[in-house]
Amino acid sequence: MLLPLAARPQAGVTTFGIQLKPVIPFPFFEPHTDFERPDVHASLDLTGGLAFGMVVRTGLTKSLSLETGINQIVRRYDFALANDTNGYTDAAKLRYVGYEVPLLLMVYVRLGEKSWMNNALGFSLDMYPSDAQKVVDYGQAYLFRRNWAQLGVVGNIGVEYRTDRSGYFYLGATYHRPFNDMAQADITWFDRNFRPYRMTQLLDGSYLTVDLRYFFHEDPAKARKRKEQDGVRAPRKLKKKE
């Protein structure tokens, strides 16, 4: 019995895709950070964000694949500052940008004729090109990157629907946790004489996303045929004897 193309083993096939991953500020991952000094209070709240980029998947066997790519991740924070003595309050928004290059080992479990469940685990190289700063009337928030590059662990789970001609459609979730703290958050209050009162906390940078992916169609049979053709040289033409 012949299986549909979407259900055939994907060993040796490289598939390219795009992904969009909204960041979910789940309370379990401590998106709220407080800063305290006498009469001065501040907070930094992860309110969401967005990761997007490309994905490259290479089949090892019919149930295992390697997955890599590159993503840009933008974390969005709400920054608030208050002084109880003079009744001052202010708030602003802050964005922190990073880039990620993950390498994951993915395992497939077949659910139906064209549907599969995926589980993946691996590592990510996280890069932070610059610091981030937000200034208000009598204070500022500054995020100092701890390292310009560091490693993190990544795990995801999802389901995908493989069509015969229109590619793969994927819905899942990813948990990303850096091995070290992502940044040092400094909140500074300036008094009437512009003397700074500084408060510091570390941000670990962990987050949870909902993953939306689309993989372009790649026919396994055609991919194998191309490899076979590339590996075989064209036969030489024999000269006719006179």
**Whole-angstrom distance, CA of residue 120 vs CA of residue 105:** 5
Would you tell me how many other CB atoms lie within 10 Å of the CB of residue 88?
15
Strand partners, 109: 117
Half-sphere exposure of 118 (CA within 13 A, CB side): 29
Q: Please list, in sequence order, all residues whose beta carbon lies within 8 angstroms of the beta carbon of residue 225, skipping any fewer than 6 positions away.
A: none
Q: Which pTM does this prediction carry?
A: 0.81
- 8 Å CB contact between 114 and 163: yes
- 8 Å CB contact between 218 and 17: no
User: What pLDDT shows up at residue 234?
Assistant: 44
**Closest by alpha carbon to 98, among 21, 170, 43, 200?**
21
User: What pLDDT shows up at residue 191?
Assistant: 82
User: What pLDDT shows up at residue 91?
Assistant: 92
- Tell me the three state secondary structure of residue 18: strand
Which residue matches tokens 């500052």?
A: 81
User: What pLDDT shows up at residue 19?
Assistant: 96
User: What pLDDT shows up at residue 7?
Assistant: 47
Structural domain boundaries in the chain = 13-31+43-81+91-134+147-179+205-226
User: What pLDDT shows up at residue 1?
Assistant: 39
Q: Where are the beta strands (DSSP E) in 111-233?
A: 115-127, 132-136, 139-145, 149-162, 168-178, 183-190, 196-203, 207-215
User: What pLDDT shows up at residue 6?
Assistant: 47
Fold of 13-31+43-81+91-134+147-179+205-226: Porin (2.40.160)
Number of H helices, E strands in the chain: 1, 13
Mean pLDDT by 10 residues, the chain (242 residues): 47 89 81 87 92 94 93 95 88 95 95 93 96 92 93 96 90 94 92 86 92 82 54 49 46
